[in-house]
Amino acid sequence: MTNKRIVLTFPSRLVGQPITTHLVKEYDLMLNILRANVTPNEEGRMVLELSGPKKSVEEGIDYLKNLGISVEPLSRDIKWQSEKCTHCTACIPACPSGAMSVDRETWEVSFDRDRCIACELCIGVCPFNALEIQF
């Protein structure tokens, strides 16, 4: 058995296609969708954990690549250092998944790791280096 965490970036033409169902049925894989940001008519991004026999995992990844999906290993994760955050909200519009959000009453910013798709778009916009990549 092999476990592989991968990041998929797929074109809008494939959004809504039963790709994950196909992986489970045809390649006998177990899937755990860790994060997903899929919007109709836009590029989709998904972080998946694939489990199964090594050969099946490799064949499943080949299937994804042959469809035109970019497949990269999830080797990095995002860490929010709350003690450095000044709640300036600069990262909010940069975050496509809603992982960074602001409470409209208190104006406190928070980070929801489960929604983060590790796109790294927030890293460059934080003036206080409160967001960093963890290897």
Q: List interacting residues with ligand SF4 (CB under 6 A).
A: 78, 85-91, 94-95, 97, 99-100, 109, 116-122, 125-126, 128, 130-131
Provide, rounded to whole angstroms, the least separation between the CB of residue 110 and ligand SF4.
9
CB closer to ligand SF4, 53 vs 98: 98
CB closer to ligand SF4, 23 vs 34: 34
Q: For the chain, give the longest Cα–Cα distance.
A: 51
CB closer to ligand SF4, 29 vs 126: 126
Q: Which of 5, 133, 123 is nearest to 79 (CA)?
A: 133
Tell me how far apart the alpha carbons of residues 60 and 22 are, in angstroms, rounded to a whole number: 9
CB closer to ligand SF4, 37 vs 56: 37
Provide, rounded to whole angstroms, the least separation between the CB of residue 73 and ligand SF4.
16
Tell me how far apart the alpha carbons of residues 31 and 109 are, in angstroms, rounded to a whole number: 31
CB distance 70 to 10 below 8 Å: yes
